Amino acid sequence: RFKTNLRISLLQISGYKKLYLSVENLRKVPYDSENEEHEEQLIELWNLLMPHESLKARITKQWCDIGFQGDDPKTDFRGMGLLGLVNLVYFSKHYPDEARQILSRSNHPKLGYSYAIVGINLTEMAYSFLKNGALKSHLYNMVSGLPQMEHFHQFYCYLVYEFDKFWFEEEPESIMHFNQYREKFHEKIKGLLLDCGVILTLKN
């Protein structure tokens, strides 16, 4: 039994490092509007979130409807590269009802926020937890072998869902206070991750 546990532990430790490298490599890929695959994923994100509305053009103010800052989303991916887009698409594809519901809530007249921008911000949060080792207990409890990219995406989905709940519970005066509440949410999740029996996913 000791040998089995040791083997699983070593697998998990090496798997965590590999997962971090995979996530880091995706983060380092800049969004490239000349790359067909990148563009397809971006259009897929629109279609998943806005199934009843067609994009009138590739560069259009419509992107603001799903929470990008301007009329070309590529500029918003700078910090997190392709990882930000892959996370957004994953959540919309695997939890379409939740994604559209949260998008709808993000358009609230008083408590609204930029859905896509906040999503990319939460990619950065998930990435930082992975990088500093805070995700170890969560991932080791979740999978008794090699953690995969899928498990990172699942944690990201949890963050998006929980942040939306947190934001509406806190009722910030305005989006101008975003950083303050982001920090508060970060501390909350950091505290949860300290529990050695923790598993944080939407599937719970």
Domain boundaries, the chain: 1-31+78-194
pLDDT at 80 over 50: yes
Q: Quick one: pLDDT at residue 202? A: 83
pLDDT mean over 180-199: 95
**Measured distance CA(33)–CA(38) in Å, rounded:** 7
pLDDT, mean over the chain: 93
- Distances from the Cα of 69 to the Cα of 73, 77, 113, angstroms: 7, 11, 11
Between 3-7, 116-120, 195-199, the lowest mean confidence (pLDDT) is in 3-7
**Nearest in space to 151 (alpha carbons), one of 163, 160, 159, 139:** 139
Structure confidence by residue, pLDDT tens digits, 35-71: 999 999 999 999 999 999 999 999 999 999 999 999 9
**DSSP 3-state of 174:** coil
Q: String of b and e for 99-135 (b: at least 16 CB within 10 Å)?
A: beebbebbeeeebebbbbbbbbbbbebbbebbeeeeb
- CB proximity list for 162: less than 8 A, separation 6 or greater: 185, 189
Structure confidence by residue, pLDDT tens digits, 15-33: 899 999 999 999 999 999 9
